[in-house]
Amino acid sequence: MILKGVFLPNKYLKKYISDNQSGWDYFIKYALTFGLIGPVLSFYSLTTQMKYSIGKAFLYSVTTYFMDLLVVLVFSYLVFRLFERDFHKTLKMYVLVNIPIWLSDIFDIYQPLRILSNVGLIYSFYILYKVLESIDLKKKFIILSVFHLVLYVIDAVLSEIIATNPVLLKLLQK
């Protein structure tokens, strides 16, 4: 049902933004589940194709999962504090924006195709625009797009730094 709002935003987005579910309901139902796609498939491909140890692949997968969730919360909080006075609406909005990113993580199953997961990032900007349009924040699209992109990059970089940290890797080897 939520996918209709992502793939047919003109028809369903206002319905999802204005429904009675709280932002935390969306976070629990959709972020915690869709957010697992990339980490689970990365774990599989890292252990089978890239020959990472189970510990290293697990660390990478767990790190990326929690960083993705943290980014959703940080973005929602920043937008809530700066522009929108309804945290639940903001959290619902940003969970919807991230669904294309999480869905495109299906390409993590085969490491050489990972670059294609950027299609989800590109599409997420369209969803961001449509969501902002539905909550009368369309004028803030450029600012929020920069927030979105910066947090996406920070998420990726920090996940890599944490997952490849030599201290953590040594602990896993013991």
In 20-173, which residue ranges form alpha helices assigned H by DSSP? 23-26, 32-34, 37-48, 54-82, 87-104, 118-134, 141-163, 166-173
Tell me if 127 is assigned to some domain: yes
Q: What is the pLDDT along the chain (174 residues), one digit of tens a residue?
A: 678 778 888 888 878 878 889 999 999 999 999 999 999 998 998 899 888 888 888 988 999 999 999 999 999 999 999 987 889 989 999 999 999 999 999 987 876 787 888 899 999 999 999 988 887 788 899 999 999 999 999 988 888 787 776 776 666 565
Q: Residue 167 phi/psi, 5° resolution?
A: -65, -45
Tell me if 54 is assigned to some domain: yes
Domain count, the chain: 1
Q: Which residue has the tokens 């997420």?
A: 124
Q: Which residue has the tokens 């909005």?
A: 93
In this predicted structure, what is the pLDDT of residue 71? 95
Distance separating alpha carbons of residues 2 and 160, to the nearest angstrom:
30
Tell me if 4 is assigned to some domain: no
What are the CA-CA distances from residue 79 to residues 22, 110, 143 (Å)?
16, 35, 10
Domain of residue 24: give its range: 17-173
Tell me if 6 is assigned to some domain: no
Q: Residue 36 phi/psi, 5° resolution?
A: -80, -20
In this predicted structure, what is the pLDDT of residue 170? 66
Tell me if 22 is assigned to some domain: yes
Tell me if 156 is assigned to some domain: yes
In this predicted structure, what is the pLDDT of residue 173? 61
Global confidence as pTM: 0.88
